[in-house]
Structure 1
Amino acid sequence: MDNLLIIGKIGSVHGILGWNKIFSYTEKKKEILKYQPWYIKQNNTWTKHFLECKKVYNTKIIVKLKNINDRNTAKILTNSMIAIQKKQLPKLTEYEYYWHHIVQCKVFNKKNIYIGLVIKIIRTKKNDILVIQKPSIKNQEILIPFIEKIFIKKININMQTILLNI
């Protein structure tokens, strides 16, 4: 389903009443709770789910989904991916973008020579890192710090291109 965006993963069960721990992939971990409904992938099928209850303990997020009322049913969901429809995301201004806009962008150096394709973004404490797949050699990747004006000169989401400052 091309209109879905993965925002987290269901972790282990919590207690006996159908609660699960949640691993959030959103920039601010608690933001995952703002999106409804969730689409959860099991056996290669996405099903729609709604939150019944939610709790946040320091860095842990636990939820109870509607119609999940016992530990055994909740355990079946462990390691399932959580997605939302892309249209659920807040609207952005002209020069803002989401990570899913950057993945699959073509990357060029400042001499306009094609470097490769962004295949993923790695989050670190200091800055994000673009993982670029080189076109000529399989399984060879280039890592570029995602620091605008230093390494990243220009991003054109409409053209799906990134121009590097190197």
Structure 2
Amino acid sequence: MAKKPSNLVTVGRISTVFGVKGWVKVHSETEPRENIFKYSPWWLKTKHGVKTYEVEDYRPHGNGLIAHLKGIDERDQAEALGRVEIAIDRSQLVDLAEGDYYWSQLIGLRVVSEFGEQPQDIGVVSNMMETGANDVLVVVGDDLSIDRNQRLVPYVPEQFVLSVELEQGIIRVDWDPEF
């Protein structure tokens, strides 16, 4: 088993086995979805630990993707990889333009509303959603926030998102905490 790097970013998951020759169905969280195959190696987070795998072959299949991993040549081997996360080392990610962020950089940041008289901590980004029009921050309240409510804040820079301060771990938003 390879040593787990401390800088893993989830880019998708293996959902289930495909066929009898060790192929698996892949759910990609990259955009476009085929970009998941540009990363190598994949770090699979299995119940037995984290292991690296090389993609030997892949192709679109129906509305999804399928892949064959090097050394996985039988259905039973592939079944052991069902429902595992696919991660890559953060160093493989392409540098983005100033002001652009990967979702993985935003998840876990505290969200402070600048709406009204006083700034208010409304929680932590637990997830992101894609709606078509714009992405949405899923913000969940915790012990440090004004309440434990979940809020959906549109990720629209300069309109609702005032700033992203990665070093401080804060996203400042213009969002009414009553929503």
Fold equivalence (TM over 0.5): yes
1:120–1:73 distance in 2 versus 1, CA, 3 Å: same
Is 2:100 aligned against 1:127? no
- The counterpart of 1:118, out of the listed 101, 119, 125, is 125
1:137–1:148 distance in 2 versus 1, CA, 3 Å: same
Is 2:141 aligned against 1:137? no
Task: Report the TM-score, using the length of structure 1 for normalisation.
Answer: 0.90
What does residue 79 of structure 2 align with? 75
CA positional deviation for 1:116: 2.0
Amino acid at match of 1:132: V
Task: Report the TM-score, using the length of structure 2 for normalisation.
Answer: 0.84
Determine helix, strand or coil for the equivalent of 1:73: helix
CA contact (8 A) 2:14 2:82 kept: yes
CA positional deviation for 1:6: 1.0
Task: List runs of 5+ in structure 2 lacking aligned partners.
Answer: none
Is 2:156 aligned against 1:147? yes
1:51–1:85 distance in 2 versus 1, CA, 3 Å: same
User: 1:1-150, aligned counterparts within 5 Å?
Assistant: 2-57=6-61, 59-110=63-114, 111-134=118-141, 135-138=145-148, 140-150=149-159
CA positional deviation for 1:164: 1.2
Q: For the residues of structure 2 that align with 1:73 and 1:118, how far apart are their CA atoms?
A: 36
What does residue 159 of structure 1 align with? 168
Determine helix, strand or coil for the equivalent of 1:101: helix
1:46-85 per-residue CA deviation (whole Å, 9 max, x = no partner) reads 0010011111235321110011011121111111111111
Identity of matched residues, %: 30
Corresponding residue pairs, total: 165
Let me know the Cα RMSD of the aligned residues.
1.7
CA positional deviation for 1:136: 4.2
Q: For the residues of structure 2 that align with 1:61 and 1:101, how far apart are their CA atoms?
A: 25
CA contact (8 A) 2:120 2:146 kept: no
Amino acid at match of 1:137: D
Determine helix, strand or coil for the equivalent of 1:87: helix
